[in-house]
Amino acid sequence: MNQRKPFMAANWKMNLKRDESVELVKAIAAQAPDPDRVEVLVAPPFTSIATVKEAIGSAPILLAGQNMHWEPQGAYTGEVSPPMLVEAGCTHVILGHSERRSLFGETDEMIDRKAKSAVRFGLTPIICIGESLKEREEDRTTEVIEAQLRGSLKSFTDQKRLPPAVLLAYEPVWAIGTGETATPEDASQAHGVLRTRLRKVLGDSRAVATPILYGGSVKPENAAELMRAPGVDGVLVGGASLDPVSFLAIARAGVPLT
């Protein structure tokens, strides 16, 4: 039986000023699903994190940074450190998003360093993994996502140890912001590949305990079907999370029927 609580995450990317962020999170908080049955998380831009934290108040909504540097401080102009995210109220951080990999040249090695640092400072990393359209067309999905998983968590897997507070997110690059979505079967198959890899490296119990989210053009129209796919433990939502009605409909799709 799957004991992983559904996890519904909203990545606002480079959208919304502070007032808009507050308005959105308050709308979500007013109708958030039962936290005993589903986790809800929002990831605002850096400039809005502290303001959004205040607006959340006691509502059952988790808060994440969209990225971070692996160093706690130093001469890294334009970067944000793990302690800064923690101070602002974050419990989670998204790492290795395909846009960070493709647009800003982030490598598996960099994601690994960030993940190790996040855990060190008490943040739960959400590690993103996914193949490009070219890699998919070349039938290299399994090869690519296994390599990304291995490289992005190398510090942990080398020691045969993965902290309990780590999430994975399978986000096929070809389905992000394109309107294209992996079928539930596609998502389930990729999630199975990742979980099998975890099982080989870390053993059954740790593989079973690790939540794996799906990200890529998730909408209210497809969320329930995706959540019913075997091995899909939640979603990482982009554009559709900027509208409270849309995101709440997606979040409710994660609530177990029984």
Instruction: Please state whether 166 falls in left (phi above 0), alpha (psi between -120 and 50) or beta.
Output: beta
* 137 among known catalytic residues: no
Bridge partners of 235, per DSSP, are 8, 214
Rounded-to-integer distance, Cα 213 and Cα 116, Å: 20
**H or E stretch including 51?**
helix 49-56
* 71 among known catalytic residues: no
- Catalytic annotation, pick one of 39, 69, 171, 191: 171
Spell out the long-range contacts of 254-257 with Cβ–Cβ below 8 A and sequence spacing 24 or more. 254/6, 254/7, 254/8, 254/33, 254/38, 254/223, 254/227, 255/6, 255/33, 255/34, 255/37, 255/38, 256/6, 256/37, 256/38
Burial of 79 (0-12, 13-18, 19+ CB in 10 A): middle
Residues 6+ apart with CB under 8 A from 113: 70, 155
Rounded-to-integer distance, Cα 27 and Cα 232, Å: 26
- Catalytic annotation, pick one of 97, 99, 106, 131: 97
Bridge partners of 65, per DSSP, are 93
Rounded-to-integer distance, Cα 98 and Cα 60, Å: 28
Point out the residues that are catalytic: 97, 171
